[in-house]
Structure 1
Amino acid sequence: MTTAVTGTGVGPLLRGWRERRRLSQLELALRADSSARHISFVETGRSRPSEEMVLRLAEHLEVPVRERNALLLAAGYAPRYSETSLDDPSLGTLRAGIEQLLTGYEPYPAVVVDATYTVLAANRGVTLLMDGLPAHLLTPPLNVMRLTLHPEGLAPRIRNLREWRGHLLAQMERQIALVRSEPLRRLYEEVAAYPLPAAAGPDDREDPHPYPYFALPLRIEHDGRLLSFVSSISTFNTPMDVTVAELAIETLLPADPATVAYLRSL
């Protein structure tokens, strides 16, 4: 038995997420312990899914927490996930843990960003790399992508800029393909349009290095030295809050002994 649903409802949204994940109705049905017929009825508006079904489909479609609230609203249910300011007292324990993590990682750089790469917290290792940047780039809110790729930012100091720029833009492209975020798309269009600085260092191919790297390094000049890092990004498992779901902690791990020795000497 099916129930007619007026308006566009949640069906087209779920179909959009399914197509984005390149799943057939049958594949989604098998994952969600449902039937292809029921998935079809939900997507076309012939059947109204229960709140539990909306959340189950969202889980198997890997829909971001913020968008799960949108699916619930479209289906006629209340949002399930709160969006708490990081300054809220209820997140005090989380903030303290993040600050301890950032401090404990020193002297190596570590930064906390939101879904559009706005800097929420950073340690002294990051401050070291930003030394000497112009004031207009250091005016809050700071943005990691702008700081890195702007021709007056870190870009002229990055020895393998073309490789690193390509890595960052590809990372943003993957995110845009997975989530519906106009702010992220606008940021991508902005930083992708930055010109390559004339003062950029030579490409890695023209500048051989003595150590074999296990991942693409960020090779950046600082105070007359060449430092090399590899990046690692961490997020929170099974978040129940939109703010927490969109937090990411990026750490820069030294990629060669010379970088380790220099940072520890500080």
Structure 2
Amino acid sequence: MNGAGNAILVLDLRGAGFLPAPEDARALARAPGLGYDQLMVLSDPRAPGQDAFMTIYNQDGSLSASCGNGTRCVAHYLAALTGAEQFRLATSAGPLAARREGPLSYSVDMGPPRLGWRDIPLAREVADTGSVELEKFGLPPASCVSMGNPHAIFFVPTIEAFDLAAIGPVLEHDKLFPQRANISLAQVLSRDAIRLRVWERGTGLTLACGTAVCATLVAAARASLTGRRATISLPGGDLVVEWRADNRIVMTGPVEVEFSRRLTPELFAP
């Protein structure tokens, strides 16, 4: 599936009693036709009222605690199976509530942002996580936010002025980020519109990243660059994000089914 262009592979292992190992996730990413940005593995609920537990892998086999675009895709997959309109999905970072807004549109309550330097996390104490000097590549200070995974957002006059493919992997592995970081270049167009390009931790350049758009809105609103609701445009499409008065962030956007198949050993033949 894809969510605003973010390539999502949904693997339903409910009832199977096991999870892929990191090397399995890497093998799936290399299998012909199965390349993905995130792999969303569904397993049995761990608490009453949940529809499924989601384990989220990046292309390199590393784990991610949250993926907004992937969660919308999972909701659409479950809607097709059950006809339900609302879903409660769990991750290692906590529960996520998803709701169908239209035939191919879903919203996800991504929960509250985490803004403390320990919560992001950063490797050292920072007085203001909204303005963190990295002093690399001529970039302005970063705004650092966690949405269950760490993000560093750089507000620039124009995205095209920087080569994200070159600077992304360097900043992802900067010593300031003990768990690495998602790196975003953001260009504010108006009080309710932002352009965004994302280097995704463990994946690389991506057409969209749901947690990045949430982190970017928080960073922009904290800096009074926008209000608390904006349309954020990525190469894969637009996502609408709102930072509500109750401190929770709701993201709304499209999903698309590309294909469905059963995995067989032949898919992984050299």
Give me the TM-score of the superposition, normalised by structure 1.
Answer: 0.26
When Rg is computed on C-alpha atoms for both structures, the one with the higher figure is 1
Give me the TM-score of the superposition, normalised by structure 2.
Answer: 0.25
Q: Which has the higher strand share?
A: 2
Q: Which has the higher helix share?
A: 1
